[in-house]
Amino acid sequence: MRAVHLCIVVTLFLSSSAAAEGSKTYRNPYFNFTVNYPENWEAGEISGIAYFRTPREGTQDTFSENINIIVDNLTGNPVNLEQYTAYFFAVAPTSITGFQLVEKGTVVINGRDASFIVYASVQNGARLRHKLYQIVDDKKGYNLTYTALEVNYDTFLPQAEEIMRSFSAAPAAK
């Protein structure tokens, strides 16, 4: 399993088919998942990491709030959701600068159990807030992370939640 994944804002294969009015659908054929996102957000991929980021709010806006999706291959190390989330908590305090847990819990996303973790961090002197959803099937660990400047976190949270909760992955082949 990879070490904790930090916010990596990173460009990707996407489909411009509309999922709902004013939205597009991103399809990842390699990891076999889809996500719907607002048409004014940018979507991309680099090194297997899908990203979605907000439009700039003017010339003074130097940080794009974003979502990234990182997929871990668990084929050789099968774990359940509880174990996967425990691993995050084992490494986060020492690998994420200024890590502070804000909230944690469990939810269901499109019929799949998921854990969520809201935490704060510091990156290049900026206070950030993150909401991480983790979903595990028997061969993959999905990490969907919304990252924002702490002062803008609530502004984009409704859109970020809608994007992340639209996540859908085909079940692993048996």
pLDDT at 9: 31
Taking 70 as the pLDDT cut, the residues of the chain under it are 1-21, 138, 171-174
Q: Count Cβ atoms below 10 Å from residue 53 Cβ, excluding itself.
A: 20
Q: Which domain holds residue 93?
A: 23-169
User: Is 17 inside any structural domain?
Assistant: no
User: Is 114 inside any structural domain?
Assistant: yes
Contact 44, 12 (CB under 8 A): yes
DSSP state of 172: P
pLDDT at 155: 94
* CA-only gyration radius of the chain, Å: 15
User: Is 7 inside any structural domain?
Assistant: no
pLDDT at 147: 97
Tokens of 51: 């990203």
User: Is 3 inside any structural domain?
Assistant: no
pLDDT at 13: 31
Q: Count Cβ atoms below 10 Å from residue 47 Cβ, excluding itself.
A: 7
pTM across the whole model: 0.85
Closest among 52, 57, 3, 45 to 23, alpha carbons compared: 52
Contact 14, 26 (CB under 8 A): yes
CA distances from 145 to 70, 77, 92, 121, 132 (A): 8, 22, 14, 13, 4
Tally of structural domains, the chain? 1
User: Is 6 inside any structural domain?
Assistant: no
pLDDT at 19: 47
pLDDT at 60: 79
User: Is 119 inside any structural domain?
Assistant: yes
Here the CATH number for the domain that contains residue 39 is: 3.40.1000.10
User: Is 85 inside any structural domain?
Assistant: yes
pLDDT at 78: 86
Q: Say which amino acid occupies 121.
A: S
User: Is 1 inside any structural domain?
Assistant: no
